[in-house]
Amino acid sequence: MAYGVEERAISPVIGWTRIATGLAQGVLLWALTEAADNKVWPATSGPLFGVLAAVVLFTPFVVLAGIAEMRRRNVAIWAVAVAVVMALLGLHDVTRRAAADIVEWLTPEMMVFTAAGLFIGHHLLEAGDLDDRLIARYPTYFDLAWKHGVQLAMSVGFVGVFWLVLTLGGALFKLIGIEFVEELLRKTWFAIPATTTMFAAAVQLTDVRHALIRGVRTVALTLLSWLLPVLVFLAAAFMASLPFTGLEVLWNTKSAAAILLSASAVMVILINAAYQDGVPDSPTPLVLRWAGRIGGLLMIPLVGVAAYALCLRIGQYGLTPDRIIAAACVVAGACYAVGYGVAAVLPGLWMKALEVTNVVTAFVVLGLLLALFSPLADPARLSVNDQMARIAAGKVAADKIDYRFLRFDGEKYGRAALEGLVKKGGDTGKRASVALKWTNKWSDPGNYASQTDFQMEVRPFPAGTALPAGFLTQKWELQGEFGLPCRKGENGCNAYLADLTGDGVQEVLVQPSLEAALLVYWRGADGKWRQIARTETLDCGKQRLDALDAGRFTVVPPRLNDLQVEDHRFEFEPLVRGCMTTPPRKSRIRPVTY
């Protein structure tokens, strides 16, 4: 080993370099934020903005973490390599979107998983640089990874406390009529550089107190290690219960794979907390050694059942981005499960083989992350290809195709798939054509049914009642809060007529079968019907609902009138609600001008 973590002094130059790096990162992030808000260069180009955002967000952390331990030349080479990789990942993250010309920041998934991959890759390289070998000694990996993990947590906490102090200071000055400090904290040109600079300062402060970091790490690992027997007992009891409960209970949760993989991940963390660097200062307690061996063996069925659950979901419904990411987690989990299972049964030093497992799996995880967030295994592309293959094979009917996924979650691949369906024509092409026009993913919790796409079912009551002209023939663009949620096949709606506004024209009262409430529809001056109000729950017993269907209802004035104060009108809401014998009205309904 050329030099170790403990042998290198932290010079003032390193501290000032870190401060300068944090300040530069903050200034550049502020500039990008301003460009995006004001739509000026480089925010006028989505791909360029994505490249710059990725480079500025992630590259400085390599300098902050590596400058004290790695050789200067290697830090520079590593930072350039990270910048290039981040640029490519950022470019792909932006250009894969359905509207690449719209300037947006990186997706949350890309930011979270890229940060995890950068953490793994940095410590694989930094440990090799310290030990002056391609594959470092396991204690070096352990020491660096846990050291920087604790540093990261403490630095984030330090920044949080820093902002609490500034906020308190602003409040103190405001007490005496000076609002400058509070206004300053709201300025992005101050807030962003201040945050990144203080984070860099926290990294430096914690780095020069390496003994403190080691002490905190030791206490944290000791506490975590004694949770291992608890988790092992629960996992063993769970696996022992499965033969009696069956797997059907798991499948009904629709989240079995995620929970099982999470349990396996926590098992990995706790086993490593007990194992630490493999050369403990004192012998590992017998209860932890047994818990580690049993936990390592339990990971095999846990990951196996998770993989089986995921395979069932994919076989039934095909691939989605979430299932592809879950499949990658299963691969990583399988590596840990097999390696820890072998380590549990091998003779010799306790769980010694997990060292090789951890290092190998780190490379596997790094490869999976690079594949998932690059064109190689883009989850959106793979999911769309799978859905289109199922459609081509006749496994999915036209009315069962997930057009919403293709339009909004399939990114540019989904949009291209919809355009291909339009060219094929037929019912599927018609639906795909409508889907391409959708602009809001959340406006309809169902299937964006419209009058031209799905048949409405509205049953007027009392029998023989005719609905106003134009109500059913109107094209209802939305089925959400202000649309007409009466799709046939979902039991449709009941409808009643009543003049609630007092203008001599009857409104339409609609009761969707899927919710116990009345929706009030009013026709505006332009002839279009719009939802303007709704009642409280109608869960008042079948007798009253039958009376409503039979037409035995009357329109009564509100219990409380409104209060006009100059140009403002106040509506009073009765405090007594529910199905009373003579229930008060919630509020007076008035025509709305559109």
Residue 199 has pLDDT above 70, yes or no: yes
Residue 537 is predicted with a pLDDT of 58
pTM of the model: 0.73
Residue 441 is predicted with a pLDDT of 65
Determine what percent of the chain is predicted with pLDDT higher than 90.
52
Residue 452 is predicted with a pLDDT of 40
Find, among 331, 326, 351, the residue nearest to 341 by Cα.
351
β-pair type (568-570, 563-565):
antiparallel
Q: Over range 507-512, report the average pLDDT.
A: 87
Q: What is the pLDDT of residues 24-50, one digit of tens each?
A: 999 999 999 999 888 888 888 888 999
Q: Over range 489-493, report the average pLDDT.
A: 66
311, containing H or E segment: helix 286-317
Find, among 483, 487, 476, the residue nearest to 454 by Cα.
487
Q: What is the pLDDT of residues 322-369, one digit of tens each?
A: 999 999 999 999 999 999 999 999 988 899 999 999 999 999 999 999
Which residues lie below 8 Å from residue 222, measured CB to CB, with a gap of 6+?
Answer: 273
Three-state secondary-structure class, residue 129: helix
Residue 4 has pLDDT above 70, yes or no: no
β-pair type (507-512, 519-523):
antiparallel
Residue 455 has pLDDT above 90, yes or no: no
In terms of pLDDT, which residue wins out, 162 or 36? 162
d(CA 467, CA 18): 72
| Mean pLDDT over the full length of the chain | 85
In terms of pLDDT, which residue wins out, 454 or 573? 573
- The ranges assigned to domains in the chain are 12-219, 226-377, 379-435, 458-570
In terms of pLDDT, which residue wins out, 461 or 593? 461
Residue 580 has pLDDT above 80, yes or no: no
Residue 593 has pLDDT above 80, yes or no: no
Instruction: Give the chain's length.
Output: 594
Find, among 89, 83, 99, 98, the residue nearest to 50 by Cα.
89
pLDDT confidence band for 568 (50 / 70 / 90): confident
Residue 209 has pLDDT above 80, yes or no: no
d(CA 122, CA 128): 10
The sign of the CA dihedral 373, 107, 124, 340 is: negative
